[in-house]
Amino acid sequence: MSSEFRDVRLSVIDERIKNVENVIAVSSGKGGVGKSLVASALSLSLARKGYLVGLFDLDLTSPSTHIILDVGESRPVEDRGIVPPKVHGISYMSITYYSGDKPTPLRGQEFSNALIELMAITRWGDLDFLIVDMPPGISDATLDIIRLVKRSKFLIVTTPSRLAFETVKKLIKLLSDLRVEIIGIVENMKIRESDFIKANVERLGVKYLGEIDFDGNLEDALGDVEKFSNTRFFRRVEEIAGELIKRLASGTQ
Q: Which residues bind a second copy (CB under 8 A)?
A: 29-33, 36, 61-62, 64, 67-68, 101-105, 107-109, 111-112, 136-140, 142-143, 159-164, 166-167, 169-171, 173-174, 191-192, 216, 219, 222-223
Q: How far is the CB of 198 from a second copy (least distance, A)?
A: 16
The candidate with the shortest Cα–Cα distance to 168, out of 216, 125, 204, 124, is 204
Q: How far is the CB of 171 from a second copy (least distance, A)?
A: 7
Whether the CB-CB separation of 169 and 45 falls below 8 Å is answered with no
C-beta closer to a second copy: residue 15 or 224: 224
C-beta closer to a second copy: residue 147 or 246: 147
d(CA 101, CA 235): 31
- The Cβ of residue 106 has, within 10 Å, a number of other Cβ atoms equal to 18
C-beta closer to a second copy: residue 75 or 173: 173
Q: How far is the CB of 37 from a second copy (least distance, A)?
A: 8
Whether the CB-CB separation of 65 and 225 falls below 8 Å is answered with no
C-beta closer to a second copy: residue 126 or 224: 224
Helix (H, G, I), strand (E, B) or coil at 157: strand
236 φ, ψ to 5°? -65, -40
Q: How far is the CB of 51 from a second copy (least distance, A)?
A: 26
- What number of residues does the chain have? 253
